[in-house]
Amino acid sequence: MTLQSNCPTGPLETRWTRHKGNIKLVGPINKRKFHVVVVGTGLAGASAAATMAELGYKVTAITFHDSPRRAHSVAAQGGINAAKNYQNDGDSTYRLFYDTIKGGDYRSRESNTYRLAEVSANIIDQAAAQGVPFAREYGGTLANRTFGGVLVSRTFYARGQTGQQLLYGAYSSLMRQVDTGGVNLLTYKDVLDLVVVDGEARGVVVRDLKNGKLDTVTGDAVVLCTGGYSNVFFLSTNAMKCNVTAGWRAHKHGAYMANPCYTQIHPTCIPVHGDKQSKLTLMSESLRNDGRVWIPRKEGESRPANQVPDAERYYYLEEKYPTFGNMVPRDVASRNAKYVCDDGLGVGAKTGLDQRARGVYLDFRDAIARDGKDAIEARYGNLFHMYDKITGESPYDVPMRIYPAPHYTMGGLWVDYNLMSNLPGLFVCGEANFSDHGANRLGASALMQGLADGYFVLPYTIGGYLAKKGPRAAIGADHQECRAGIERVTTVTDKLLSINGKRSVDSFHRALGLKMLDKVGMSRSEAGLKETISYIQELRQEFWENVKILPKSGDAMNVELEKAHRVADFLEFGELMARDALARGESCGGHFREESQTPEGEALRDDENYSHVSAWEFNGVDSEPTHHKEALEFEFVKLTQRSYK
């Protein structure tokens, strides 16, 4: 199958407008004859479900939480970009488009990225109308800040809780539709399989987490808004329940997984404190504006940080990158932290496979001496407080310890310009798809993409598909594909419960994560990736022989079983990630291949051989997937190699 991106052609500025104008419409009376199943109720899912219901479609929204408000979009801190040019500093749709495509290291589609920049302004309008309490100037207009090294102020924010407030906005629109009957909200339901009828996605198989009951939810189209897969690393800044299951099981039905090796590893997180750690916490990147990153020059330094004299401190970012210093981009900062810790110079608790200390100092001593404690407190008071709360150490007195943590995944299910996967009827929005960020995501762009997809893209494009299909007979629970779906899930569940093993689900997940972070994380090599693939295969085999799940019943709430389903998928997905990383012999964005670097150790892109999207077709768990390529063509931007020396 060749991949049709279905991107419009012609002038970039009018592509989306012209495309919308050409989408076949569903008449207002007919809309209620179409039923759309939305999986996930984060920014993308809640906004998509609410907006489609506003248009008149019948919508079922599914979440495994008790409430849509729990989705992990809630945790995004920094802000949301929009090309409003409210600050009159020369921002424009084109500039946001250009920054995004360059930030993504030229590995995304021009058409998609331009559309994202184009609808960004409408998101702010919609959110403000919903009552999102954005930061304001004294005159009552919206405030902006700069974010992620761009040259204009285009980031809108609500204190450090922008994701929470935007999610609550989308959630309130969703609950309005629940109130009016436009959306049927299903809670505590885990989506464990897809119902595909005649090659088209028509529904999902759900497990009720309260009582283990399996059921099918069917409609005319399925929309997956199930977030990213950072939890393949076990320790990440994602919520504990974030998973790849719905997407992976769709992949097994033929949906292609695109660019799974594109992951973003955030440089400023609180380091791992020990082997019982369950979760990593992000600290705002703004800390690097004033903090200086260093490690002791001496391996095994035993003196407290404050007693290490300047001459024995290795300010490695400042030394290696004199121009940008501590402000180098995320991936450069992350990678260098890994390297110095690999060399045994890290500080803090010894953890991980090699039991090395994995942390570096982020020191505010000089900033406090220069600007005074009050000034630093005004800038970072809440972050210092958060750090103190978690670690019990005050950054005013001792340097912070930081280490990179997996944070966001740019890869995901392959979709065309209409956000439909290669499996007809299966749409994918938000972090779950691969489309707009390329190989790296700019700060404050995740919220933008989730809401752009849900409010302003999918509700139009899905109409084109539904209009083409026309109203169809409903798929009943007794349809053979529904029964087959339930049968498949039952088989997997029974198999998981029948294993009389010794190892907990978490221990497998932890082992997978450590390996993934070490070899498929900030820095990847051919040898390491190959080693990882066989490691995962062995670990997966052991999982299916030796996992221990209690209680041994799927007929009631069973948290260990829920986790087991997810980890089983991560154990397959992780292998694909490694394969994708192996197939991409260049370094780009968040993907760094040690074989492809400049003499100075910088990421070296290879546009001649790798200017494409890798889309993987599933051929069975133990068979090699088929590698499809969608060529990326750049008509409007000139590809440049970045340099931070």
Partner 1 sequence: MSEATINLTLEVWRQDTAGSGGKFETFKLDGVSTSLSFLEMLDMLNEQLLEEGKRPITFEHDCREGICGSCGFMINGQAHGPERGTTVCQLHMRKFKSGQTLVLEPWRARAFPVMQDLMVDRRSFDVIQAAGGYNSTNVGNAPDANAVLVGREAATEAFDAATCIGCGACVAACKNASAQLFTSAKIGHLAMLPQGQPERYKRVVRMYDAMDEQGFGNCSWTQDCEAACPKEISVKWIAKAKKDFLKARTIVGV
What separation in angstroms does the CA of 253 have from each of 244, 414, 424, 457, 630? 14, 13, 11, 25, 20
| Single residue of 51, 113, 336, 433 touching partner 1 by CB under 8 A | 51
517/523 Cα distance (integer angstroms): 9
| Single residue of 30, 146, 504, 597 touching partner 1 by CB under 8 A | 504
| Single residue of 65, 202, 335, 540 touching partner 1 by CB under 8 A | 65
Stretch that binds partner 1, among 118-126, 533-541, 577-585, 604-612 (CB under 8 A): 118-126
Q: Would you count residue 164 as binding partner 1 (CB under 8 A)?
A: yes
Q: Which of residues 515-554 bind partner 1 (CB under 8 A)?
A: 548, 550-551
| Single residue of 366, 506, 526, 622 touching partner 1 by CB under 8 A | 506
Q: How far is the CB of 304 from partner 1 (least distance, A)?
A: 11
Q: Would you count residue 560 as binding partner 1 (CB under 8 A)?
A: yes
Q: How far is the CB of 643 from partner 1 (least distance, A)?
A: 35
What does the DSSP assignment read for 184-240? EEE-SEEEEEEEEETTEEEEEEEEETTT--EEEEE-SEEEE-----GGGGSSSSS-T
Nearer to partner 1, 154 or 524 (CB): 154
CA angle at 28 for the pair 26 and 31, rounded to the nearest 5°? 60
Q: Would you count residue 179 as binding partner 1 (CB under 8 A)?
A: yes
Q: Would you count residue 12 as binding partner 1 (CB under 8 A)?
A: no
Beta bridge partners of 222: 37, 426
Q: Which of residues 134-153 bind partner 1 (CB under 8 A)?
A: 134-142
Q: Would you count residue 374 as binding partner 1 (CB under 8 A)?
A: no
For residue 137 the two structure tokens come to 């100037």
**Could you tell me if 207 and 188 are in contact, meaning their C-beta atoms sit under 8 angstroms apart?**
no
Nearer to partner 1, 463 or 485 (CB): 463
CA angle at 182 for the pair 177 and 186, rounded to the nearest 5°? 80
Q: Which of residues 196-235 bind partner 1 (CB under 8 A)?
A: 210-211
For residue 248 the two structure tokens come to 């992976």
Q: Which of residues 573-632 bind partner 1 (CB under 8 A)?
A: none
Q: Would you count residue 124 as binding partner 1 (CB under 8 A)?
A: yes
Nearest to 147, CA basis, from 199, 81, 236: 81
| Single residue of 11, 14, 66, 354 touching partner 1 by CB under 8 A | 66
Question: Cα–chain-centroid distance for residue 423?
Answer: 22
Q: How far is the CB of 100 from partner 1 (least distance, A)?
A: 21
Q: Would you count residue 240 as binding partner 1 (CB under 8 A)?
A: yes
Q: How far is the CB of 498 from partner 1 (least distance, A)?
A: 16
Q: Would you count residue 54 as binding partner 1 (CB under 8 A)?
A: yes
Nearer to partner 1, 137 or 526 (CB): 137
Instruction: List the x/- string, 429-458, binding to partner 1 by CB under 8 A.
Output: --------------------------xx--
For residue 205 the two structure tokens come to 């198989």
Q: Is the dihedral of CA 280, 454, 33, 416 positive or negative?
A: negative
Q: Which of residues 68-87 bind partner 1 (CB under 8 A)?
A: 68-72, 74-75, 84, 86
Q: Would you count residue 239 as binding partner 1 (CB under 8 A)?
A: yes
- What is the widest separation between alpha-carbon atoms in the chain? 76
**Could you tell me if 466 and 183 are in contact, meaning their C-beta atoms sit under 8 angstroms apart?**
no
Nearer to partner 1, 216 or 238 (CB): 238
Question: Cα–chain-centroid distance for residue 375?
Answer: 34
Q: Would you count residue 165 as binding partner 1 (CB under 8 A)?
A: yes
Beta bridge partners of 630: 613
167/159 Cα distance (integer angstroms): 14
